[in-house]
Amino acid sequence: MRTKRIALLSVVLFLFACTANLGNIPWHLDIQNWSSHQKANFFMKTWMAEKNTYDSMNAMENKPEELVPVLKAKYEILEKSRVPIRTYVSIVNSGSLPDTNSEQEIINFLRQLQMQYIYQ
């Protein structure tokens, strides 16, 4: 039973690694140089990748007990970040420039989504 949990945790960490560094872009360093459209696109793609990871992990039958709080935390962050990200994208698509505070809020959400596996 312990071996199954270790294997499952390894799969979860692998999925995390696949989504955490999309395209090997050091986004936390380079994002300041991106256009608003690039940022909006990145925010949506990253959020969707995290949502897909959540959905696939949550769909597993007989989830290990250790995974349940991780999924709960991930869901809460996904829900908190959904509206700010969509608002940011809408502002950019309308031709306006979003403020840097909303950008930083979204970046913080994305970091929380990606780092929560490590700190749970």
Give the three-state DSSP class for 33: helix
Q: What is the pLDDT of residues 10-58, one digit of tens each?
A: 555 555 544 444 444 455 567 888 899 999 999 999 999 999 999 999 9
pLDDT of 103 reads 92
Average pLDDT over all residues of the chain: 81
Query: Which residue, among 62, 63, 64, 51, has the nearest Cα to 15 in the 3D structure?
Result: 51
Kindly give, in sequence order, each residue whose CB lies less than 8 Å from that of residue 93, ignoring residues fewer than 6 positions away: 40
pLDDT at 6 over 60: no
Q: Which amino acid is at 92?
A: V
- Cβ-contact 54, 43 below 8 angstroms: no
